[in-house]
Amino acid sequence: MATKKASSGAIRSGVGGWTYEPWRDNFYPKGLAHSKELAYASSQLTAIEVNGTYYSTFKPPTFAKWRDETPEDFVFSLKANRFTTNRRVLAEAGDSIERFIGSGLSELGPKLGPLVWQFAPTKLFDPVDFEAFLKLLPREVNGLPLRHALDVRHNSFMDPAYLALARRYQCATVFTDSDDYPSFADLTGDFVYARLMRTQSSVKTGYAAKALDRWAEAAKTWAAGGVPADVPLLDSPGKKATARDVFMFFISGAKERAPAAAMALIERLRAPSA
């Protein structure tokens, strides 16, 4: 179950996907059938980011199957199909967005988490075109509210004008803990979405204990409406806001260590405060 305290949002910790060969040696029980991997992963984690939806279009029965195989409080975030974002003119993405949203996402019901719109590292910030894209993002599907997270990967987005646009359309900005992409934690939506990409193969839990302690405290601060003091920002953090849901995914880096890192974070979040 997601970690949640009074006056705080829910905090979820997970990984990207659930099918990865090395996890069959250090995460999944020996001999576990591949068809049981999602059920097992969702029993140990509180969220999973689905990368497959970026490359392929799934049908409603698949989303319904994922819903039925996972615990009641589990959540999937879905990466939007690449045809929605990997284009020269984002304003022309309407049909692709409609196809992705209408592919059956609502079958997940309350287990549908944020939709992640990931842009190519070569995609520059064009305020006019980007706003036209944001206008295309629907706020609901079949009566189910949608939450949008923008994964911008070019340094040109490190611009107050981008922050203003994202806030205007109530879209969160993915905070990427990495040297490979822009890394800024300014809050632009009513939830926090972090992709932590520094897992190390030499560390059993992916991140060292001190780093995991830091991210656990950061998650609690975000969930309570604050802004951690040690995260990179483009703009002033402003005043403390209302409680927010927080999604933290251990992705990339030494991927074989990602489940251990996510579980170690969950353990810290569930431990009673000193």
Mean pLDDT for the chain overall: 95
11 beta partners: 3, 246
pLDDT of residue 6 exceeding 60 = no
Return the pLDDT at 237. Answer: 83
Pick the CATH number of 11-270 from 3.40.50.150, 3.20.20.410, 3.20.20.70, 3.40.50.740: 3.20.20.410
With a threshold of 0.85, does the pTM exceed it?
yes
Q: What is the mean pLDDT of residues 89-107?
A: 98
pLDDT of residue 166 exceeding 70 = yes
- Using pLDDT thresholds of 50, 70 and 90, give the confidence band for residue 1: low
Return the pLDDT at 2. Answer: 77
Q: What are the structural domain ranges in the chain?
A: 11-270
Q: What is the mean pLDDT of residues 139-165?
A: 97
Q: What is the mean pLDDT of residues 172-187?
A: 96
Return the pLDDT at 253. Answer: 92
What string of DSSP letters covers 75-95? Answer: EEEEEPPHHHHSSS-GGG-HH
pLDDT of residue 236 exceeding 90 = no
Q: Are 224 and 218 in contact (CB under 8 A)?
A: no
Closest C-alpha among 206, 210, 211, 245 to residue 225:
245
